[in-house]
Amino acid sequence: MITKRRVILGVVTATLVLLAGWWMVEATEPPATDVTVAALPPALPEPIAPSTGPVAAAEPNADTTTPAPPASVAPQPQPVIALPVPQPPPAAPLVEQDAAWLPPTRTDKVFDLNGNGRVEADEQERAGELLERSHQFASNRSPDGVYPMLKATFRGEGKLFRAIDADADGALTEREFLAFEADSIRQLRRFDQNADGALTLNEFGHLKSRFDYLDEDHDGELYAWEITLMRGRGKW
């Protein structure tokens, strides 16, 4: 019985000792203070140094969205540029004008008998005949037998001279005669059915009296030179 009391008394004593110790600790601690910590500004990102090496491949989870292209700008209207008004060419210098007095070559456009803009091989061959005819005309109509022939010294009818003198300058050049003669050849070809360069009465298709009048040498055929004479007289 005495032992049981001692045990109880010891437990109570120990409990009191613990309570006394706890109370002493609480009494010695300083009161808690309310400390408010000011919010710090967010940390700035560190600058990224420019890379001089190869660009690393993007990670699988990286945002690779392509930025939208800039909006297209409507084209601005171009200013209207006024084109220069074409002006007529100036008068040819004297050197080029003098070229009209020179004898034409066999490729000169005056020998373009069919009017296709080219001097074909057969036309170049015919050019020899025309040049020979031109020389004969100058020998018969000019005192010195050369071109240009002046109206005052022309041996022939004035009507024929005026018909051939295309620019009416009073001087008949070889090119003017050849152009007139070539036109006579074109008119002959309109009736020349067998293309032999001469017209018979059947090809001419008019009265025999008319044919005989045009047949200057009375050989039964009409040639280009005879058509030239009749055109000059106003009888063709």
Q: Map out the domains of the chain with their CATH numbers.
A: 117-233 (1.10.238)
Q: What are phi and psi of 232, to 5 degrees?
A: -65, -30
Q: What is the dihedral of CA 43, 48, 49, 53, to 10 degrees?
A: 150
Of 56-65, 67-76, 101-110, the range with the highest mean pLDDT is: 101-110
Average pLDDT for 59-67: 54
Instruction: Evaluate whether 114 touches 123 at the Cβ level (below 8 Å).
Output: yes
Q: What is the DSSP letter of 100?
A: G
* Backbone CA torsion sign across 134, 192, 165, 126: negative
Give residue-wise pLDDT tens across range 145-203: 999 999 999 998 899 999 999 999 999 999 999 999 988 988 888 888 888 888 999 99
